[in-house]
């Protein structure tokens, strides 16, 4: 079922003690003024998940920032979906632009990761989006379409109902540049249209599509007011409890 979601991606930030403190502060702020219309997810580093899962009261979901494309075995340094599930997480971010860019994760690898996530009863937050050159060349719609077709649209309708999509204009991540509300809505509507073409209007209408690209307390409400923007995948602003909770309350 479609709902508003704000997910905080901490990336490679916060020691364990700092992460515990941040999660506790977020939980405290939300308890004092609970959000009425949005779900909340945080994605701390792998080593934080089990500890933070034991501290939260269940009103905040926990995501891993990535997972292995294999179920188990001799893959030094990797963390499997089963391990993530056993640590207490319920979601996994798949295909973040930084994983694609820095670690060479392509659509076939991401397809395998989606399979691992779903096999372990986790919810994928699947990221898609274009770089600046692709947008300037007016190829941004094709880029996103291919990312969805190749790594996500192999799922059955039943499987797809467990997916969250996040649109990341890569040119607006960590640059201080934000897509205009009109640009965000245009792409979100396009993505929803692609989902409708593949799975039908009912499933498309029930799919949460998040915006990820320099979303902050001062622009969140304007972005979230768009009919096809169902929340945000928040980077830097999720590292500050007051900023993150302000975004959550922007609906």
pLDDT of 134 over the 80 cut = yes
Share of the chain above pLDDT 90, in %: 89
Is pLDDT at 235 greater than 80 in this prediction? yes
The per-residue pLDDT of the chain, averaged, comes to: 95
Catalytic residue (choose from 48, 96, 140, 188): 96
Q: How confident is the model at residue 63 (pLDDT cuts 50, 70, 90)?
A: very high
User: Would you place residue 36 in the very low, low, confident or very high pLDDT band (cuts 50, 70, 90)?
Assistant: confident
Average pLDDT on 126-150 reads 96
Instruction: Give, in order, the Cα–Cα distances in Å from 95 to each of 22, 122, 186, 246.
Output: 25, 15, 21, 26
pLDDT for 1: 76
* Structure tokens given for 201: 């209007």
Above 80 in pLDDT, residue 187? yes
> Reduced to 3 states, what is the DSSP secondary structure of residue 177?
coil
pLDDT on residue 32? 82
Domain boundaries, the chain: 4-248
- The pLDDT confidence band at residue 229, using thresholds 50, 70 and 90, is very high
Q: State which fold the 4-248 domain adopts.
A: TIM Barrel (3.20.20)
pLDDT of residue 35: 81
Per the rule left: phi > 0, alpha: psi between -120 and 50, beta: everything else, 80 is: beta
8 A C-beta contact, residue 22 and residue 14: yes
Indicate whether 54 pLDDT > 90: yes
Quick one: average pLDDT of 49-62? 94
Q: Which of 48, 134, 168, 188 is catalytic?
A: 168
Rounded Cα–Cα distance for residues 159 and 142 (Å): 24
| Residue tagged 């599930």 (tokens) | 85
Known catalytic residue at 96 = yes
Indicate if 168 belongs to the active site. yes
Query: What pLDDT score was predicted for residue 214?
Result: 85
When mean pLDDT is compared across 54-63, 85-94, 186-195, 199-208, the lowest value belongs to: 54-63
Asked if the model's pLDDT at residue 177 lies above 90, the reply is no
Per-residue pLDDT at 178:
73
Q: What is the pTM of this model?
A: 0.96
Q: Has residue 213 got a pLDDT over 90?
A: no
pLDDT band at 179 (very low <50, low <70, confident <90, very high): confident
Count other C-beta atoms under 10 Å from residue 82's C-beta: 17
């Amino acid at each position: 079922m479609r709902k508003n979601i704000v997910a905080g991606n901490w990336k490679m930030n916060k020691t364990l003690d700092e992460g515990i403190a941040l999660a506790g502060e977020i939980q405290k702020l939300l308890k004092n003024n609970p959000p009425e219309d949005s779900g909340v997810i945080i994605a701390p580093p792998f080593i934080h998940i089990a500890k933070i899962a034991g501290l939260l009261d269940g009103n905040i979901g926990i995501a891993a920032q990535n997972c292995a494309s294999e179920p188990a075995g001799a893959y030094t340094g990797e963390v499997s979906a089963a391990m993530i599930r056993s640590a207490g997480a319920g979601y996994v971010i798949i295909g973040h632009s930084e994983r694609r860019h820095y670690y060479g994760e392509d659509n076939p690898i991401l397809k395998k990761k989606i399979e691992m996530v779903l096999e372990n009863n986790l919810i994928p937050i699947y990221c898609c989006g274009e770089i600046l050159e692709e947008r300037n060349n007016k190829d941004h719609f094709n880029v996103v379409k291919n990312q969805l077709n190749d790594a996500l649209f192999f799922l059955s309708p039943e499987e797809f109902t467990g997916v969250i999509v996040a649109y990341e204009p890569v040119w607006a991540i960590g640059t201080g540049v934000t897509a205009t509300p009109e640009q965000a809505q245009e792409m979100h509507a396009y993505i929803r249209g692609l989902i409708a073409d593949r799975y039908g209007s009912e499933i498309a209408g029930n799919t949460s599509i998040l915006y990820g690209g320099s979303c902050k307390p001062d622009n969140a409400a304007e972005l979230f007011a768009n009919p096809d923007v169902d929340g945000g995948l928040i980077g830097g602003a999720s590292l500050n409890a007051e900023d993150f909770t302000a975004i959550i309350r922007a609906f």
